Amino acid sequence: MATIKKVDCSCPRRKKPTCPHKPYRVTYREPGGRSGKPRQVSFKKLEDAEAFAVKVERDKDLGTYINPKAGQRTFTSVWEEWVSAGTLEESSKANYASVYKNHYHGPFGSRAVASINPEMINEWEVDQKERGYAANGISVRSNILSSVFNYAVNAEIIGRNPCKKANPRKKRGNTMATPVTDDDIPSMSEVMGIIAEAPKLVRAGLWAMAGTGTRAGESLAIADESMDWEAGVLAVDHQVSAFGCQEISGYRRGVKRGTKHRTFDEARKTPVPESIVQVFNDHVDAFGTWGDRGWFFESPRRNDRHPSYDWFLAQFKAAAKSAGTPQYTPKSFRHFFVSEAIHADIPMFEIAAWVGHRSTRTTELVYGHLVRRAMERGARTMHNRLGLKLSPFKGLIVPPQLTPTESDIDDWADVG
């Protein structure tokens, strides 16, 4: 049990209320009984010491005890440990280092990780907004911050994640998945209109997004080695990124192994329609390939380098504007692919695997209204298959009795 002892200081009695000494000392053992390490924590006020003594014994009983000194580590040290604990490539670590320097170092870097509270998280988010950062970017960085604190909780450095208490008005369980609407999904004619206005150099990439569901960065990283031409299957295992893999591209900006939610040694596969296979063939015939993997897309300004995502986005925006549909983005073509797959009654787990969602739950959250329509179609289909066929048997089908009849009671009595 934790004990409290008062250790008086030598200060005059009249100065004790304001002196820096902490006379109330709580002594306790860490979990493990007699083998637990003895600890002492001092407090200025008796009520604070009593509250701590009760809490530490309760935490020991519940198995949630955290060494108070562990939480005195700086946020910087915990961040560095979190980054090194993963399986990130050097390029991704460089990306995280940039994010840390620009967004976390100032407000959190030198603070004790246990001292960071929900109010500080809220103030940080407000500051991000005032600095003009986009809402989606702030949300991404908030998720990274929460991941660091989750790591600290699991590593028994702190007891709780302050991000989970920040912004209590936010809906709990909220995710980055933003549901799409019908206005977010282009029609087939709109897709073809944008592609027709795009430069020939990037058209195959646009067709890849619309016909195979790849993301923009993944489309720019398609290579001859990624394609199983005979089976019509694309292995999606690279993406063009601002922080490219040095040993592959040789430059900081370029391609990197791995895609969203997947490490560099993982790959997902997606079917490639015959028409898109022909598009790829025509692209290679017209522009050739480059590099060891036979990359499809090359920077129009520098040989043997990948085009940047920003350049690709600019080409798409210009084409969409020329086609009279400036509201669409490259992600709209992914929406088109998933929409068509759902309308074709392709199983949800197949669609999620093809487009690289973490689970079917993400697909359902983003494309919920389309899924509901698919369910309605399924119900109508089964009604048409069963409802009409059952009509001759309506008089023969007897619904079960929900209340016992006299004969039922007699039968039960005989059994008894």
Q: What is the reported pLDDT for 393? A: 57
Q: What is the reported pLDDT for 136? A: 78
Residues 274 and 352 in one domain: yes
Q: Give mean pLDDT, residues 361-368.
A: 83
Final residue before a domain boundary, out of 43, 65, 87: 65
**Residue 377 belongs to a domain:** no
| Cα separation values, 124 from 109, 159, 165, Å | 13, 21, 14
Residues 78 and 46 in one domain: no
Residues 214 and 252 in one domain: yes
Question: Confidence class of residue 401 from pLDDT cuts 50, 70 and 90?
Answer: low
Residues 346 and 213 in one domain: yes
Domain tally, the chain: 3
Residues 284 and 150 in one domain: no
**Residue 376 belongs to a domain:** no
Residues 332 and 353 in one domain: yes
**Residue 241 belongs to a domain:** yes
Residues 259 and 315 in one domain: yes
**Residue 278 belongs to a domain:** yes
**Residue 399 belongs to a domain:** no
Q: Is 256 helix (H, G, I), strand (E, B) or coil?
A: strand
CATH of the domain at 80: 1.10.150.130
**Residue 390 belongs to a domain:** no
Tell me the pLDDT tens digit for each residue of 20-74: 898 999 898 877 777 778 888 888 888 888 888 888 788 777 666 677 778 889 9
**Residue 308 belongs to a domain:** yes
Q: Which residues pair with 74 in a beta bridge?
A: 112
The two three-digit tokens of residue 380, written as one number: 């109508």
End-to-end CA distance of the chain: 61
Q: What is the reported pLDDT for 169? A: 45
Tell me the pLDDT tens digit for each residue of 72-87: 899 999 999 888 876 6
**Residue 402 belongs to a domain:** no
The two three-digit tokens of residue 154, written as one number: 């699991």
CATH of the domain at 247: 1.10.443.10
The pLDDT of residue 170 is above 60: no
- E strand or H helix at 77: helix 75-85
Q: How many helices and strands, by DSSP H and E, does the chain display?
A: 18, 8
Structural domain containing residue 283: 184-366
Look up the pTM and report it: 0.57
Residues 126 and 190 in one domain: no
Q: Rounded to an integer, what distance in angstroms lies between the CA atom of residue 393 and that of residue 409?
A: 29
Residues 126 and 11 in one domain: no
Residues 325 and 226 in one domain: yes
The pLDDT of residue 194 is above 90: yes
Q: What is the reported pLDDT for 123? A: 92
Q: What is the reported pLDDT for 253? A: 56
Helices (H), 86-235: 90-99, 105-108, 118-130, 135-154, 188-197, 200-212, 216-220
Question: Confidence class of residue 247 from pLDDT cuts 50, 70 and 90?
Answer: very low
Tell me the pLDDT tens digit for each residue of 312-360: 999 999 999 999 999 999 999 999 999 999 888 888 889 999 998 878 8
Q: What is the reported pLDDT for 254? A: 66
The average confidence (pLDDT) of the chain is 82
Residues 110 and 213 in one domain: no
Q: What is the reported pLDDT for 134? A: 84
Residues 231 and 336 in one domain: yes
